[in-house]
Structure 1
Amino acid sequence: MKEHVTAYVQMGKRSLRFGTLLLSALFVAGNMYAAKPKQAKAPVFTKFVYQGNDQVYNDNPLNEGEFYNPILQGCYPDPAIVKRGEDYFLVASSFSMFPGVPIFHSKDLVNWKQIGHVLDRKSQLKVGRSGIAEGIYAPALAYNPHNETFYMITTQFAEGMGNIVVKTKDPFQGWSDPYQLKFDGIDPSLFFDDDGKAYVVHNDAPAWGTARYQGHRVIKIWEYDVENDQVIEGTDQVIVNGGVNIEEKPIWIEAPHIYKRHGKYYLMCAEGGTGDWHSEVIFVSDSPKGPYVPAPSNPILSQRYLHPDRADKVDWAGHADLVEGPDGKMYGVFLAIRPNEKGRVNTGRETFILPVDWSGKFPVFENGLIPMKPVLKTPEGVVNKTGQEGFFPNGNFTFEENFKAVKLDYRWIGMRGPREDFLTIVKDGAQIKPFSANIKAVAPISSLFHRQQHRTFTATTTVKYKPESSKDLAGLVCYQSEKFNYVFGITKKGDKTIIVLERTAAGKSTIVASAEISYKDAVTLQVDAKGDDYRFNYSVDGVNFENLGGTVSGDILSTDVAGGFTGSLIGLYTTSDNDAVVE
């Protein structure tokens, strides 16, 4: 035994230097490992409740045979519509939201169900590095009876995609990968004539060096090769220069659609820009390629001439599309806004509908040139079932989500990337894996978004979460863009768990308020908005709420302040790159 011990000691002496070095290395490595912050477990959002309470709906309860306008509240701009048989399909712009181009189905123009998104795969939608006001602009729908195929054509401002078209035999079953089209400009639309020929019309810049003023645009037409899904080289020509009357310097003639009626070709376009001079105008021709003559009574839709202080104000009306209704009458869908008491546009550009009188040579939107009302008559024989039987709600409604359904509601969207990249439905709710990108990044972010659809609303969620460091954060975000947003979440300051409210305006962030909190398992977070006044509240027991930061302005959530084209989104947000740090 002694010999074994002696040998062991001697061996230890011979390797003392090596052992010392080894222990030192292990000690340093251990310290390096210990210095890394412990990664927080991905938060689980157990419930979300959105409740709208706009006064306009309280003041205008529906009677039998009535429905509310807009038909799609919140950020559903640039609507386009198509009919096949008894089926109507409607799409809207989605910019850098993912999936893109929400698509709705109806049998009667009143009751709508969202059936998915046209662009729901990474191979179709490449917006990973796009600002929120980039991506998908102004989708248009068309149906070609000659090959029984639906087409969606749009402009994708991202990764060199440009103008694209996708197609399907069945909108309920998904759409093809994009065909890139060889022309510049925006707002393309397809027209299929009775003789089987096809055309693309779109907005473009005038020929180089011929622009007469800022906002001078033209409408071009191309012949379209249906077999190869491409415009035919050399067939392009300008069919509208400037607008209805170029001597008056009209701006932003765009969003063209061609319709054929009684052997005549009608070209309808938006004019005036998508702001307070927005309108819809109409032209007629004996040929799809023109020449087009404007109607003598343009515009056929606008709210620009009205008193600025009118009640229940609707404004910016334009960017329309026409379709025959179930009663044989014509209808038009279009975008417009409903500003709050300070003129803010937090709900964004929404989808409206009006009947269209086409008893004369030219169509005119009924009551489209006077102050619009929030209530419309349903087409004859149509029963309003909005908010029931799976139909999209409107008016004042409550949306509750406990994340128990097998399929996630289509109203939930990601930003610049698929929801599935960060979202897992678990036993308790929606587990959101934090990305290293935060809310200010022009990159995919780990936030599940729902549109703000009312001026007055509350959005409440409960989150199970324990942050481990100041880089961890989970909570709610009110998001107009990567440069304009509020972050309201749970993070760490040293060894303390805190709740923080951060405001970012024009890319500059400030901490509005913070507080130390203590809770067992979960925190309930709430944003409560009344017009321009937003309040952020929290509860550690799920019953009693405390306010953080007082009343703050919703100005940064409006396009008139933030710019761009979207409405405000409410996000269930998490990140491992939090920069809402309390000093």
Structure 2
Amino acid sequence: MRRSKIALTAMLATVLVLYGFNYKRIKDQPPAKNHPVFKQVTYEGKAKIYEENPLEDGEFYNPILQGCYPDPAITRKGDDYYMVCSSFAMFPGVPIFHSKDLVNWTDLGGVLDDITEFNPHDTGISQGVYAPGITYNPHNDTFYMIVTAFSGGLGNIIVKTKDPKKGWGSPIKLDFGGIDPSIFFDEDGKGYIVHNDAPDEGKALYNGHRVIKIWEYDVENDQVIPGTDKIIVDGGVDINDKPIWIEAPHIYKKDGRYYLMCAEGGTGDWHSEVIFKSDSPKGPYTPAPSNPILTQRYFPKERKNKVDWAGHADLVKGPNDEYYGVFLAVRPNEENRVNTGRETFILPVDWSGEYPVFENGLVPMEPKLKLPEGVESKTGQDGYLPNGNFTYTEDFSSEKLDFRWIGLRGPREAFMEQTKKGLEITPFETNIKQRKPTSTLFYRQQHNSFSFSTTLEYQPKSEKDLAGVVALQNENSNYVFGVTRKDKDYFVVLEKNYKPNRRAEMKSEILAAEKIDLNKTIDLKIVANGDKYEFQFSLNGIEFKTLGGAVSGDILSTDVAGGFTGCLLGLYATKSNDVIPE
């Protein structure tokens, strides 16, 4: 298990020094000179889909995790369900959630929360870690989280715990390549790892040709057994159709048979979920004649309340022993932009026949589901995550900052401190456009229409100082909106950082700048109405002015900016500002 609390504190102090400044507790001290203080933040969801589809008795909203929570995997021990998702370069790595009923979820933070063991400090935002698996092994009463880590030379790793609520052990490096691993434990106690990989050398037939491999797993020594690897799926359901990107495999056992479920078609508009069956965990596997068992690819692009890209799923026995599947999908805005990223959805699964099928997973998906029998929705209550349209206010006064606030390429504790006046950020010498840890506290965009507002107390001392808010898709695609200084004057500025095309160099453009009479505080607000974003400020807390007019959210969308993440909204400060007003 984790080190003692004292050891952790010492470790964090060392890490913070490595990040370029001395660690000291200043919680009860006044803010340091020239450090911005964010008084509070209010995030308000204003999506029309929830206004037009109010919940009736016995219903809950889908997705269950709004915003960038992709690639879900799930497991169960007794009445406890645990679910993990991809986090890429966000920190901590691999967010984990707990539920008793698959409807009401609490956030347990991140599995990989030790920066000395998982450090995505110089990775692109869509690297880091992704496509985790989580499995409970009843034979040794242990939970296993397995994932591919694209940082620090880790590769595929596994971590273990007896209780996910109490933290996880250190990563164990596994000796195999490929991505998207998951682990399966058979009734006899034997373990197996399945994962996506490239075909054997020289045997790739087309772009996107991938295979699924299986290894026997040494449970005592936590390693794959050399020489036991075997390809169990080549290409996908039918190699003659040249299927692309078979990935995200999971094995299940039911009625003495083994079932292998995989994503197929790539994590875009041809995404799907397919199923195979075998008499042995190592195959041969026969595809179901009814594949795919989940997809949204066959429907009109202009359909109402569009859900798309559905796939990358995992199954679990839910309340009343009925099966459910969690999976990723997207909800584009009116311009077909994917700014909220890939979200976590759930559907009941009918496994009364030979193969499982996602109920209503092969028709256009609806925003509401029927509650499992005997389950009550407690969304937004008693510590459960909110869903639908909601307002979340953070005044930074609680002892522990909510887990929904995250760092990028490093821990949030490296630059923030909760003080009596609000959240103080110690600015780094790094800029939001760099592939380095930035002094930015992030919140995921969870609605296509929303507002994100904060009150900032700050007086920059030079043009190198800037504090404010950002809307960020990646280091090359973002908006910076904040306060800086030129000579003796204060300015509020709006900068757009983007690539004219994915192969081009990034361009930085100041969209607007306005000299202001900054007394002490300024209110900053990001307002999105679908694809249109506005950046507003107020010097009296009442009257807001839009700087630079309405701008497109296109650069905050996966389909334009590339990568795998959704838009992140951040409280940002830097000592390396380059947004210099004319």
TM over 0.5, yes or no? Answer: yes
- C-alpha separation between the residues in 1 aligned to 2:302 and 2:539? 43
State the Cα distance separating 1:116 from its structure 2 match: 1.7
Match of 2:423 among 426, 430, 454: 430
Q: Which has the larger radius of gyration?
A: 1
Partner SS for 1:497: strand
State the Cα distance separating 1:124 from its structure 2 match: 3.0
| 2:477 alignment partner in structure 1 | 484
Runs (4+) off by over 3 Å: none
Q: Which amino acid in structure 2 is aligned with residue 347 of structure 1? A: T
Are the equivalent residues in 2 in contact too, given 1:40–1:472 (CA < 8 A)? no
Match of 1:456 among 449, 453, 478: 449
Q: CA RMSD in A?
A: 0.8
Are the equivalent residues in 2 in contact too, given 1:191–1:198 (CA < 8 A)? yes
| 1:550 alignment partner in structure 2 | 549
Q: Which runs of structure 2 are paired with 1:212-361 in the superposition (5 Å)?
A: 212-361=205-354
| 2:578 alignment partner in structure 1 | 579
Cα deviation 1:283-331 (Å, max 9, x = unaligned): 0000000000000000000000111111000000000000011121100
Are the equivalent residues in 1 in contact too, given 2:442–2:570 (CA < 8 A)? yes
Q: Which amino acid in structure 1 is aligned with residue 90 of structure 2? A: M
State the Cα distance separating 1:511 from its structure 2 match: 0.2
- C-alpha separation between the residues in 2 aligned to 1:245 and 1:326? 35
Match of 1:160 among 124, 139, 153: 153
State the Cα distance separating 1:537 from its structure 2 match: 0.3
- C-alpha separation between the residues in 2 aligned to 1:158 and 1:581? 34
| 1:27 alignment partner in structure 2 | none
- C-alpha separation between the residues in 2 aligned to 1:126 and 1:286? 41
Are the equivalent residues in 2 in contact too, given 1:98–1:415 (CA < 8 A)? yes
Cα deviation 1:322-365 (Å, max 9, x = unaligned): 00111211000000000000000000000000000001000000
- C-alpha separation between the residues in 2 aligned to 1:406 and 1:226? 40
State the Cα distance separating 1:40 from its structure 2 match: 5.8
State the Cα distance separating 1:159 from its structure 2 match: 1.9
Q: Is the counterpart of residue 49 in structure 1 residue 42 in structure 2?
A: yes
- C-alpha separation between the residues in 1 aligned to 2:108 and 2:424? 24
- C-alpha separation between the residues in 1 aligned to 2:52 and 2:454? 29
Cα deviation 1:119-157 (Å, max 9, x = unaligned): 111133120010101011101100111110000000001
Q: Is the counterpart of residue 112 in structure 1 residue 111 in structure 2?
A: no
- C-alpha separation between the residues in 2 aligned to 1:85 and 1:297? 32
Are the equivalent residues in 2 in contact too, given 1:40–1:468 (CA < 8 A)? no
Q: Which amino acid in structure 1 is aligned with residue 345 of structure 2? A: F
- C-alpha separation between the residues in 1 aligned to 2:478 and 2:221? 44
Are the equivalent residues in 1 in contact too, given 2:273–2:292 (CA < 8 A)? yes
| 2:511 alignment partner in structure 1 | 512
Are the equivalent residues in 1 in contact too, given 2:493–2:512 (CA < 8 A)? yes
State the Cα distance separating 1:237 from its structure 2 match: 0.5
- C-alpha separation between the residues in 2 aligned to 1:100 and 1:42? 27
| 1:533 alignment partner in structure 2 | 532
| 1:12 alignment partner in structure 2 | none
| 1:20 alignment partner in structure 2 | none
- C-alpha separation between the residues in 1 aligned to 2:117 and 2:67? 24
Are the equivalent residues in 1 in contact too, given 2:272–2:309 (CA < 8 A)? yes
Q: Which amino acid in structure 2 is aligned with residue 252 of structure 1? A: W
- C-alpha separation between the residues in 2 aligned to 1:142 and 1:337? 25
State the Cα distance separating 1:470 from its structure 2 match: 0.6
Q: Which runs of structure 2 are paired with 1:379-458 in the superposition (5 Å)?
A: 379-458=372-451
- C-alpha separation between the residues in 2 aligned to 1:389 and 1:521? 36
Are the equivalent residues in 2 in contact too, given 1:92–1:103 (CA < 8 A)? yes
Q: Which amino acid in structure 1 is aligned with residue 180 of structure 2? A: D
Partner SS for 1:371: coil
| 2:16 alignment partner in structure 1 | none
State the Cα distance separating 1:544 from its structure 2 match: 1.0
State the Cα distance separating 1:519 from its structure 2 match: 2.5
Are the equivalent residues in 1 in contact too, given 2:459–2:518 (CA < 8 A)? no
Partner SS for 1:269: strand
Are the equivalent residues in 2 in contact too, given 1:268–1:281 (CA < 8 A)? yes
Cα deviation 1:233-274 (Å, max 9, x = unaligned): 000000000000000000000000000000000000000000
Match of 1:69 among 44, 62, 71: 62
Partner SS for 2:240: helix
Partner SS for 1:420: helix
Which range is displaced more, 118-127 or 147-156? 118-127
Q: Which amino acid in structure 1 is aligned with residue 301 of structure 2? A: P
| 1:17 alignment partner in structure 2 | none
- C-alpha separation between the residues in 1 aligned to 2:266 and 2:33? 47
Q: Which runs of 5+ in 1 are unaligned?
A: 1-38
Match of 2:128 among 132, 135, 139: 135
Are the equivalent residues in 2 in contact too, given 1:40–1:466 (CA < 8 A)? no
Are the equivalent residues in 1 in contact too, given 2:312–2:328 (CA < 8 A)? yes
Cα deviation 1:446-483 (Å, max 9, x = unaligned): 00000000000000001100001110000000010000
- C-alpha separation between the residues in 2 aligned to 1:208 and 1:459? 50
State the Cα distance separating 1:228 from its structure 2 match: 1.1
Q: Is the counterpart of residue 564 in structure 1 residue 563 in structure 2?
A: yes
Are the equivalent residues in 2 in contact too, given 1:40–1:467 (CA < 8 A)? no
- C-alpha separation between the residues in 2 aligned to 1:260 and 1:578? 56
Partner SS for 2:439: strand
- C-alpha separation between the residues in 2 aligned to 1:185 and 1:123? 24
Q: Which amino acid in structure 2 is aligned with residue 473 of structure 1? A: L
- C-alpha separation between the residues in 2 aligned to 1:390 and 1:122? 27
Partner SS for 1:327: helix
State the Cα distance separating 1:521 from its structure 2 match: 0.9
Q: Which amino acid in structure 2 is aligned with residue 535 of structure 1? A: E
Cα deviation 1:44-69 (Å, max 9, x = unaligned): 00010000011110011001110000
Question: How does the TM-score come out when normalised to structure 1?
Answer: 0.93
Partner SS for 1:124: coil
- C-alpha separation between the residues in 2 aligned to 1:380 and 1:289? 37
Q: Which amino acid in structure 1 is aligned with residue 403 of structure 2? A: Y
- C-alpha separation between the residues in 2 aligned to 1:289 and 1:511? 57
- C-alpha separation between the residues in 2 aligned to 1:116 and 1:316? 26
Partner SS for 1:445: coil
Partner SS for 2:319: coil
The alignment covers a number of residue pairs equal to 545
Are the equivalent residues in 1 in contact too, given 2:118–2:152 (CA < 8 A)? no
| 1:7 alignment partner in structure 2 | none
Partner SS for 1:114: strand
| 2:521 alignment partner in structure 1 | 522
Are the equivalent residues in 2 in contact too, given 1:404–1:429 (CA < 8 A)? yes
Match of 2:362 among 366, 369, 387: 369
State the Cα distance separating 1:508 from its structure 2 match: 1.0
- C-alpha separation between the residues in 2 aligned to 1:158 and 1:40? 35
- C-alpha separation between the residues in 2 aligned to 1:126 and 1:188? 20
